[in-house]
Structure 1
Amino acid sequence: MTRSAGRLADMTGLTPLADITASRDLPAAYARLRRQYGQVAPVLLEKGRQREINGWLLLGHREILDVVQDERRFARDPNHWRDYAQGLVDPDSGLGPMMFPRDNAYFADGDTHRRLRAPLDEGLRELDQHAMQRRIRAICTELTRGFVGRGHADLIAEYASYIPMLTVAGTMFGIDLDHGRRLRDGLLALFGSGTDSQDGYRDVQQILGEVLHARKAAPAGDLTTAFLHHPNLRNDTEVMQEMLLMISAGYETTAIWIARTLLLMLGDPRFSGNIRGGTLGVNEALDEVLRLDPPMTHMPARFPLADCQIDGRRIERGDALILGLAAAGFDPRIHTGDWWQEIDNRSHLGFSAGSHTCPAKIPARLITRVAVETALHELPGVTLADPQAPVPLIPSPWTRHPAHLHVVFPAADRLRTAAVPPGPPATAVP
C-alpha cells in the first residue's frame, strides 16, 4: 500500500467524490482507495472557480467511529471548515446546502446542538407508532391501486418517491400534496449538490415559510405546530431549519432505503427466491442495505479543531472529513466476505453514530418496512423488468438514489381499494 503525502489543499487531480458514489462497483472502488491511501483517502469535492475544493473520505469503520464520537476534537459546525472560513468556497457552490452553516441541530455542536436536538427527539417520541403504521400501510396500498391492474410500474416514480412525502411531510408536518411534490424536486436538487442545488434550497425554504405562516394562523396537531411552540426554538429561522432537517433527511434517505430494499428483495437470489415465506425476509434485507448500501453513502462532514493523525495520516485543522458510511460496511477488518454469516450483522453505520446519530431510526424503519412489505403483498409475482440492466442513479456525491425501478407483475383482475385514514387537512397550506 502506498500513501501520497502532502497537504490536502495542495493536492490536485483527485477522484471526484461524486464519481465514487456513482461507481457501478462500489466495493471495488473502495478497495482501490484503500490500497492507495489506507483508511483515509483524499477526494475532490468540487471544482470551484477559485480552486479545487478537496476533502478526506474516511473509509474505515473504526476511524469513522473515532471521529463522530469525539466532539472535543472534531466539530460538526461548518464555521470550522478552513476553506469556507477563508472564503475559498464559491458562495453559490453546489456544496452549500449540504455543507454551509445552518441554524439546526445537524450543523451545531455542544450545548447548541443539544438545545436544537431536543425538539426533534421529543417530537419523534410522541408519535403514535400504531396509528402511523396503519396510515403508512393504507398510503402504500392506495398507491399500488394506481398501477396494480396495469402489470408494470416504476416503483421509484410511482411508489417510493411518494411514501416519505405523504408520511413525513404530510402526516408529520401537515404539508399538502402539491407542496410535497415541490419539496421533492427541491430536495433532489439539494442532495445533488450540482448547479441547481442552491435554487432547490431556496425553493424548499419558500415552501416551509408558507407552511409556517399557515400554522401560525391555524395551529394543528402536527410537528410544525409543536416546533413553533417549542421553547428551545428561538425564532422562525430555527423552526424552519429544524423542519428542513427532519423533512430533507426523512424524505431522501427513506425513499432510498425503500428503493434499495426492494432492489435487494427482487434482485438477489438469497432474497428473491424466498419472498414468500423464506428464511431471508424484509428485516434482513433492511439491515443489509444499511450495512452495504446505506441511504447516506457519504455524509458531510466533520472538521478537526487541531492538527491530528488518522490512520497514520496527518490531518490539518479545518480539513473537511467526509464519513464513508457505505465504505465502513466493506471494511475488511469487520467484513468477513461470507454473506450468509453476516446476515444478522448490525455493525453498520447507516444511521451514523455519536451525538449526531439519526434521531428518526425507529419511524424510518417503520415506514420502510411497511412500504416494502406492502409492495410485495399487493403485487404478487412482482419481478424486475430487466434483472440484468444497471440501475441508473440520480447524480449526487452523497447518495445513491435509484432514478428508476421498473418492475412487472401479473395484472390484477380488479383494482384493490383502500380507505386511507384521514391525514392532514387539504387546506393546511393556502
Structure 2
Amino acid sequence: MPLFATTNCADPQAVYGQLRERWGEVAPVELEPGIHGWLIMGHHELCQVVRNERLFSRDPNNWRLFAEGAVPADSGLGPMMFPRDNAYFADGEEHRRLRAPVDDGLAALDEHRMSRFVRATCANLIDELSGRGEADLVSDYAAVVPMLTVAGLFGIGVEEGHRLRAAVIALVSSAADSQAPAQDIERILTGAIAARRAEPMDDLTTAFLRHANLHTDYEVQQAMVMTISAAYEATMSWIAQTLRLMLADHRFGGRLRGGRLGLDDALDEVLWRDPPVTNMPARYALVDCELAGMPIQRGDALVLGLAAANADSRVHTDDPWLEVGNRSHLAWSAGPHACPAQRAGRMITQIAVDTALHRLHGVTLAIPADEIELMPSPWTRCPASLPVSFTPSGPAGEPAARRWR
C-alpha cells in the first residue's frame, strides 16, 4: 500500500484497520513508486524503535536504498529523508551536542513576552482580513502565523519572515529545484547571524551564537534551519486542524455559542486523532532484527505512524471515562528526538485559534466540511485550505509585532 493512502483519505482509521488486519502492527508500505519501507502502527513497537538508538538510527546515511543510489536525487522524499548537518539527522552524542542549544534556547524564552508577541502577530493578521468578509484560514493565516512567530523569536523581522516562509515552502515542496530556496534561506539566516554578532539581543539567534556546543556559524545556521522548518510545518498543521475541528464539529463549534467542549479539548483531540505529523520519517535499522513478527533488514527505512499509534486500542479507547488524564499520545514522538517545543507550540496554536475565532465575527466554513481538501503529502493530513465567511469589520487590534523584543 502507498504511504500516501494513509493521509490522502477520508477515514485513516479504516486504512490502519486494513493494514493491521493483514500485517499486524508493522506493515510494508510504498514510500514512493519503487521505494519501500515499513510503517510502524503499534504504540509499543513505535516506542521500542525511537528509544533504541543502538538498533534504529536517525541518520539517513544508514538507509540502504539511499546508500545504494536507488533513491533519485530529485526524489520527493528528499526534503524529509535526505541527510543534513543538524540534530534532526544525528544520533548519540552528536545528536545531544547539537540538540542542547535548541533545548536550552527554548527553555530560556520569556513565555509572557512570547505570548504578547504571538497575540500581536495574530491580531495584526486578523485585522488585515477582517474587512474582507471572507478568507482562507490556511493560506491567509495558519500558514503565516508560525513562520512570523518563529522568525520573530530569532530576531528576524516581518518582511524577512515572509521571504523565509516562501523559501521554506519551496525547499520542502520540491527536492528537484531546491538550490534557489536553499540559497535564499542561507542569505536570510546569515544576515540574522551577522546582525546578532554585531548587536546581541535577547533572542534565539543570540542564544545559539553564545552556546558552547555550536562551534561554527554553519552549525548555528543549521540549528536555525532545523528549528524553523520543524516549528513551521507542525504548528501550521496544528492550527489548521484545530480551526477545522472547531468550525466543522458541532461538539466544538457549539462552544462559541455556549457549548460544552472548548479550545483545550479541541487541541488535545487533534493531537490524538490528527496530530500535526501523521507519519514521521524515519528510523533506519542498523542490524537485521524482528519487530512485531516482521523481518526487518539492516538498512530498512521505518516510518513512525504517529496517528496510527495513537489509535492503538492498547493505549486509547473511545470511552471518555477511561480517557480522563490520558496523555500517552505520540503526537510529539518519544525518546531522544521527541519534539523540544511542545509548550511553545501549544501556546502559539492556542492563541492563533482563539484570536481567529473571537475576532472574526460570525465566522463559518464557506464549504461543507466533507469538501475540505488535504495537502498532498504522505507526512500530514493538514487541510490545504479552510475557506470561511464572516461579518466584515474594521481593524481594532493590537499594533503589529515587528520584532521579538
TM range (shorter): over 0.9
Instruction: Classify the secondary structure of the residue corresponding to 1:274.
Output: helix
For residues 345-388 of structure 1, what are the alpha-carbon distances to aligned partners after superposition, in whole Å with 9 as ceiling and x for unaligned?
32211100011110000100000011111112112322111234
Q: 1:30 to 1:401 in 2, by over 3 A?
A: same
Q: 1:307 to 1:63 in 2, by over 3 A?
A: same
**1:160 aligns to what?**
142
Name structure 1 gaps, 5 residues minimum.
Answer: 1-14, 426-430
The equivalences for 1:383-398 within 5 A come to 383-398=364-379
Match of 2:291 among 289, 310, 333: 310
Are positions 1:246 and 2:232 aligned together? no
**2:397 aligns to what?**
417
Deviates more, 1:268-277 or 1:318-327: 268-277
Contact 1:81 1:303 in 2 (8 A): yes
Q: Distance in 2 between matches of 1:256 and 1:102?
A: 23
Which amino acid in 1 is paired with 2:295? R
Match of 1:74 among 56, 65, 73: 56
**1:145 aligns to what?**
127
For residues 145-173 of structure 1, what are the alpha-carbon distances to aligned partners after superposition, in whole Å with 9 as ceiling and x for unaligned?
11223322211122112211121112x11
Contact 1:96 1:198 in 2 (8 A): no
Alpha-carbon shift at residue 17 of structure 1 (Å): 1.8
Are positions 1:23 and 2:20 aligned together? no
Match of 2:281 among 300, 324, 332: 300
Q: Distance in 2 between matches of 1:43 and 1:210?
A: 42
For residues 168-189 of structure 1, what are the alpha-carbon distances to aligned partners after superposition, in whole Å with 9 as ceiling and x for unaligned?
112x112233332232233334
Match of 2:27 among 41, 63, 72: 41
Deviates more, 1:387-396 or 1:313-322: 387-396
The equivalences for 1:120-269 within 5 A come to 120-170=102-152, 172-192=153-173, 195-196=176-177, 200-269=181-250
Contact 2:148 2:162 in 1 (8 A): no
Q: Distance in 1 between matches of 2:40 and 2:90?
A: 21
Contact 2:167 2:182 in 1 (8 A): yes
**1:378 aligns to what?**
359
Alpha-carbon shift at residue 333 of structure 1 (Å): 2.6
For residues 213-244 of structure 1, what are the alpha-carbon distances to aligned partners after superposition, in whole Å with 9 as ceiling and x for unaligned?
44344433321122123210122221111101
Identity of aligned residues (%): 55
**1:4 aligns to what?**
none
Contact 1:135 1:420 in 2 (8 A): no
Which amino acid in 1 is paired with 2:243? L
**2:267 aligns to what?**
286
Q: Distance in 2 between matches of 1:296 and 1:240?
A: 24
Q: Distance in 1 between matches of 2:376 and 2:183?
A: 20
Equivalent pairs, count: 405
Instruction: Classify the secondary structure of the residue corresponding to 1:401.
Output: coil
Q: 1:25 to 1:197 in 2, by over 3 A?
A: farther
Instruction: Classify the secondary structure of the residue corresponding to 1:57.
Output: strand
The equivalences for 1:335-374 within 5 A come to 335-338=316-319, 342=323, 345-374=326-355
Name structure 2 gaps, 5 residues minimum.
Answer: none
Give TM-score, length-normalised by structure 1: 0.88
**1:116 aligns to what?**
98
CA RMSD of aligned residues (A): 2.2
Give TM-score, length-normalised by structure 2: 0.93
